[in-house]
Amino acid sequence: MDVPLPHHFATAHPLDANLFHPQLHHGHPSLTAQNDFDTDAFQFTSPLDHQPQLQLQHRVFDQRPPIPPPRFQELPSNVPGPDSLNNDFTRNSTQPGQFGILTPHPQIANQPHIHHEVFGRLQNEIDLRPVAVQDGGTTEGHFSNMKIVPNPPDLDAWRAKLFDVDDTLTLTEDQFQTYFPHIDNVYSHRSTQKYKRKPLVSHYFDCRMKGRPPGTAKSEDPNKKKRKRQARERDLCDVKIKITEYFPGARRILGKDAPAAPVVDPSTVSDQDFFSTVQTGNVMQGLQHARQFPFIAPNDGSMGGEGMMRLTQSSADARRFYTIQRVNGNGANGKNDGSAGPHKHSLEDSDRIKKNSILRYMLKVEKEKKKTEKTYHKKATGEALVTAKKHSKDHELKLYGSCFCPFVQRVWISLQFKGLAYQYIEVDPYKKPESLLAINPRGLVPALKHGEWGCYESTVLMEYLEDISNSYPLFPPGDAKLRAQCRLWTDHINRHVVPAFYNYLQAQEIAMQMDNASKLQDEISKLIEVAHPSGPYFLGTEMSYVDVQIAPWIIRMRRVLTPYRGWPEPEAGSRWALWVDAIENNPHVKATTSTDDLYLDSYERYAGA
């Protein structure tokens, strides 16, 4: 049923039942929505006839006959309906955001006149105080719906501009959300002014150097972390700023009182930011971007032609924006009436007092990351630490190593066995020194530097030590064939034993573990078959080149494979048991071996424990 409106309404129409649900609110006309997420579906209800009618502009058309209410046409298939909207409000209205302030960002009607209750709805729950995080019950900084951009373009220039505020600044929503969190440490929120009939909200801030105003109550939030406040002199600065938040469509509503448009990146402007029009005979329909309200204009030709509505809306006016100005209590950008004007301190002084929201957030993330990540050992322990300290003084022969690395231990045992003077330099694998990178650009250890010369690869370095020192040789002297045999079985260790060790450790399925354990045993058996029958070392009673090559993995079998994979102890009295005991009790091996927990921790990620 169509009911004509009184003359003081511009026009009216029945509402599509698929879009709106009429409601009755205790006899009072009101604007309501379908649900908390549907800002496109406002309606007007009357207690007289329960007939839903859209509340429109309150304009008086004197001596004008009533206008028959036009009906909505069915929306074209390419225009999304309210149920399919994916706007900012539906995404953000249930999310607490990264920080804690400024309004949730629903999209509002882009109309010349909007009922003040719409503004009240948009201003609902505006609070510049930190808000509770739903899942954790703790406060989350000062801002909500703000971006986390650690290094945006021209950050230093933006920080200086937002600190000085020499002139009134007009920022797009993207600019404000990106850059203000980098400067919010300078300011402390003072108050918020809401306007029932204006499409804006004003937020007032004091410079943090002003100190806590007398009588300001401390937070009673039980979830707020209690901390010691460092006492400092008050009234060190009297700068005050006002941040005005304008809703979408504010410029058209405010007219000449609206501030100049902010700079908008053209790449962010979409064709959907403009009104589209549909004309069907005497029936008009204005189709705005799906995130805004339907809008019906009088069919009097005043909008640009008989029976045709043509609204040209700039993308800037369709978006939220902000102005920032320095007021210092006089509303004149802090430059008149004897005001002290700019800050009495530098931006660096503010940064020393408090970190901005972005830095605090990044520190929090890093702290949480450290809690969940297993730290790695950066220093040897046990007897290896004692040896490292003994060889910490500067020397022309330098060994770059890491305490958990078995390839480093090979070279370290060789240095100890041969009794050479050297300097041991512990390397953090994630913070490699330039002196190491000059030797090995890949930054891998072990690496040796001898005077101005450097080299790497454990097997190559062991042979180099043999060449520069005849004392306590690891290769049998004067027997070329036996030396060749040592190199051959060293190659077997590197090609077969070491890979089998790691395959076994990293296997997660029981069947794979059993298969790789069997392969490791087979490769070790091949060594035992060619070793000296009574040993206990590979060539007999003295440690040799092959023993040093395999020693680090024998050490790790008992300390890593046994706890993580159940590697068995050698059978008592077997040739393998004699070899393991000889390696474990060798003084040069023990001098380079750390405590068991270091290896257990270092190989935890390999084992997937």
pLDDT digits (tens, 9 = 90+) for 109-127: 444 444 556 666 555 544 4
Q: Are residues 413 and 318 in the same domain?
A: no
Q: Are residues 340 and 485 in the same domain?
A: no
Instruction: Examine residue 575 and state whether it is found in any structural domain, yes or no.
Output: yes
| Count of CA atoms in the C-beta half-sphere (13 A) of 373 | 9
Q: Are residues 572 and 490 in the same domain?
A: yes
Among residues 365, 398, 433, the one where a domain terminates is 365
Instruction: Examine residue 46 and state whether it is found in any structural domain, yes or no.
Output: no
Q: Is 451 helix (H, G, I), strand (E, B) or coil?
A: coil
Q: Are residues 455 and 408 in the same domain?
A: yes
Q: Which of 491, 470, 473 is nearest to 414 (CA)?
A: 473
CATH number (domain holding residue 553)? 1.20.1050.130
Q: What is the pLDDT of residue 221?
A: 74
Q: Are residues 208 and 340 in the same domain?
A: yes
Alpha carbons 247 and 453: distance in angstroms, whole number: 69
Mean pLDDT along residues 400-419: 97
Cα maximum dimension of the chain: 124
Q: Are residues 393 and 325 in the same domain?
A: no
Look at the block and give the residue holding tokens 């510049």.
Answer: 128
- Report the range out of 310-324, 489-503, 594-608 with the highest average pLDDT: 489-503
Q: Are residues 394 and 489 in the same domain?
A: yes
pLDDT bracket for residue 226 (50, 70, 90): low
Residue 22, phi-psi category: left (phi > 0), alpha (psi -120 to 50), beta (remainder): beta
Instruction: Examine residue 323 and state whether it is found in any structural domain, yes or no.
Output: yes
Instruction: Examine residue 414 and state whether it is found in any structural domain, yes or no.
Output: yes
Q: What is the pLDDT of residue 255?
A: 85
Q: Are residues 454 and 326 in the same domain?
A: no
- Report which DSSP code applies to 349: H
pTM: 0.47
Mean pLDDT along residues 251-261: 85
Alpha carbons 249 and 110: distance in angstroms, whole number: 5
pLDDT value at 425 more than 70: yes
Q: Is 510 helix (H, G, I), strand (E, B) or coil?
A: helix
Q: What is the pLDDT of residue 145?
A: 67
Q: List the single range of 263-272, 290-299, 362-371 with lowest mean pLDDT.
A: 290-299
Instruction: Examine residue 106 and state whether it is found in any structural domain, yes or no.
Output: yes
Instruction: Examine residue 30 and state whether it is found in any structural domain, yes or no.
Output: no
Q: What is the pLDDT of residue 608?
A: 84
Mean pLDDT along residues 51-55: 37
Q: Are residues 124 and 95 in the same domain?
A: yes
Q: What is the pLDDT of residue 377?
A: 86
CB 317 within 8 A of CB 250: yes
Omega of the bond prior to 153 within 30 degrees of 0, cis? Answer: no
Q: What is the pLDDT of residue 404?
A: 93
453-468 burial code (b ≥16 CB/10 A, e <16): ebebbbbebbbbbbee
| Count of CA atoms in the C-beta half-sphere (13 A) of 437 | 7
pLDDT value at 506 more than 80: yes
Counting every residue written for the chain, the total comes to: 609
User: What angle is formed at CA 149 by the lines to CA 144 and CA 153, rounded to 5 degrees?
Assistant: 135
Number of structural domains found in the chain: 2
Range(s) of the domain holding residue 518: 382-607
Instruction: Examine residue 35 and state whether it is found in any structural domain, yes or no.
Output: no
Q: How confident is the model over 308-342, as pLDDT tens digits?
A: 333 334 555 678 899 999 987 554 444 554 455 78
Strand extents, DSSP E, 420-558: 423-426, 447-450, 453-456
Q: How confident is the model over 573-582, as pLDDT tens digits?
A: 999 999 999 9
Alpha carbons 564 and 353: distance in angstroms, whole number: 49
pLDDT value at 557 more than 50: yes
Q: Is 236 helix (H, G, I), strand (E, B) or coil?
A: coil
Q: What is the pLDDT of residue 55?
A: 36
Q: How do 397-401 and 423-426 pair as beta strands?
A: parallel
Long-range contacts of 485-493 (CB under 8 A, 24+ apart): 485/530, 486/538, 486/539, 486/544, 486/545, 486/546, 487/545, 489/527, 489/530, 489/538, 489/546, 490/459, 490/545, 490/546, 490/549, 492/523, 492/526, 492/527, 493/527, 493/546, 493/549, 493/550
Among residues 301, 330, 365, the one where a domain terminates is 365
Q: What is the pLDDT of residue 44?
A: 34
Q: Are residues 597 and 549 in the same domain?
A: yes
Instruction: Examine residue 42 and state whether it is found in any structural domain, yes or no.
Output: no
Long-range contacts of 534-537 (CB under 8 A, 24+ apart): 534/578, 535/575, 535/578, 535/579, 535/582, 536/578, 536/579, 536/581, 536/582, 537/579, 537/582
Query: How far is Cα of residue 89 from the mean position of the Cα atoms in its chain?
Result: 22
Q: How do 187-194 and 200-207 pair as beta strands?
A: antiparallel
Q: Are residues 347 and 210 in the same domain?
A: yes
Q: Are residues 253 and 402 in the same domain?
A: no
Mean pLDDT along residues 277-301: 33
pLDDT value at 306 more than 60: no
Among residues 365, 391, 425, the one where a domain terminates is 365
